[in-house]
Amino acid sequence: MRVVVTGGAGDIGHCVVKQLAQEHEVISFDQRVSTELHCEQVVGDILDLDALRAVMKGTHCVIHLAAIRHPMADPADRVFHVNVMGTHRVADAAVDAGVRRIVFASSDSTFGFVFGNYGCPLPLVEYVPLDTKHPTHPRDPYGLSKLVGEELLHSMHRRHGVAVTCLRYPWVWHPGSYPERAEIERNPANHVGLLWAYIDARDVAQAFHHAAERVEAGFHVILLSAPDTMVSMPTLELVASYLSANVTVRDLSRLVREPNRTLVDNAPCETLLGLRPARSWRDEVR
């Protein structure tokens, strides 16, 4: 299978490319060439429709990772424009070329908890574990761009029948360079917007790989998370200490049985992709 990966030279992109290249013909489409990749690399911009149309010829699946990846370093209008118009042009070029599968790098920032303050109170978490039925309240240009990207791709699915998988994942941790544990443990409140969720880059790469191979029809939004939280405090204590007293705790018995379990519902990842993210910081630090 020929797979085009936009943003293939990025921090997450190169992990995805390496994973896919074990079994498929992979082309990285990025603004730069990476010395870490041993596949065809095309230099281009996701706003360049002609370049996208050229690279899409003969492609079976597109994995769209390229984006401005947070709202802090660029003006809001640029973040929104690049991410939204880039997604539209990638999808437009893909369907024109007859691509039948698109996998999109969305984000947990669509819920509005991560970058959501922007001078306003954070929206309330209504219930945990979090699933895709939870209301989305993005307040920043990045989270909004990812939510609009999902809607754009849903429209492409309705219009052209292309299979679309949107993967919403949290803070990605890379093997061998996990963040400083002491700071995270000292200040759990700093990561309440993430609901203390994280995921290993290898699990993210596998999720994209499984989506590219297994999702042949439909439109799907899937949450990903490591199996546990990023802190040692038991999950129910985190909820009681840092979330609203009005939050509803679902599947309470499981959180009692698994005291450090993630507050993100991974079940659709298992049922739709056949993948159970398993890597934990607890294994890395032993």
**What is the span of the domain harbouring residue 62?**
2-180+197-229+263-284
pLDDT digits (tens, 9 = 90+) for 173-210: 999 899 998 999 999 998 999 999 999 999 999 999 99
- DSSP SS3 for 4: strand
* DSSP codes, 170-228: -EEE-TT-PPPHHHHHH-GGGGGGGTT-EEEHHHHHHHHHHHHHH--SSEEEEE---SB
Give the residue among 31, 95, 41, 91 at the shortest CA–CA distance from 64: 91
At residue 212, the pLDDT reads: 98
| Mean of all residue pLDDT scores within the chain | 94
Bridge partners of residue 172, in order along the sequence: 199
First to last CA, the chain: 39
With a cut of 60, say whether residue 120 has pLDDT above it: no
- DSSP SS3 for 146: helix
Cα dihedral angle (105, 108, 114, 116), rounded to 10 degrees? 90
Calpha distance 246→50 (Å, rounded): 51
Question: What's the rounded mean pLDDT across residues 256-269?
Answer: 96
CA atoms lying within 13 Å on the CB side of residue 266: 23
Pairing of strands 163-168, 248-249: unpaired
Copy the structure tokens of residue 264. 């993100």
- Strand runs labelled E in the chain: 2-6, 25-30, 40-43, 61-64, 101-105, 127-128, 163-168, 171-173, 198-200, 219-223, 248-249
With a cut of 80, say whether residue 118 has pLDDT above it: no
Question: In this structure, is residue 234 part of a structural domain?
Answer: no
Residue 82: phi, psi to the nearest 5?
-60, -45
pLDDT digits (tens, 9 = 90+) for 36-74: 999 999 999 999 999 999 999 999 999 999 999 888 879
Question: In this structure, is residue 256 part of a structural domain?
Answer: no
At residue 219, the pLDDT reads: 98
Report the domain count for the chain: 1
Question: What's the rounded mean pLDDT across residues 10-26?
Answer: 97
Question: In this structure, is residue 213 part of a structural domain?
Answer: yes
Question: In this structure, is residue 237 part of a structural domain?
Answer: no
Question: In this structure, is residue 247 part of a structural domain?
Answer: no
Question: In this structure, is residue 218 part of a structural domain?
Answer: yes
Give the residue among 155, 116, 160 at the shortest CA–CA distance from 139: 116
Calpha distance 8→10 (Å, rounded): 6
Give the residue among 225, 221, 210 at the shortest CA–CA distance from 274: 210
Bridge partners of residue 277, in order along the sequence: none
Question: In this structure, is residue 241 part of a structural domain?
Answer: no
pTM of the full predicted structure? 0.96
Calpha distance 33→53 (Å, rounded): 19
Percent of the chain surpassing pLDDT 90? 89
Question: In this structure, is residue 187 part of a structural domain?
Answer: no
Q: Give the CATH number, domain containing residue 48.
A: 3.40.50.720
At residue 124, the pLDDT reads: 82
**Residue pair 211/243 in contact by the 8 Å Cβ criterion:** no
Q: What DSSP state is assigned to residue 27?
A: E
Catalytic amino acids?
Answer: 142
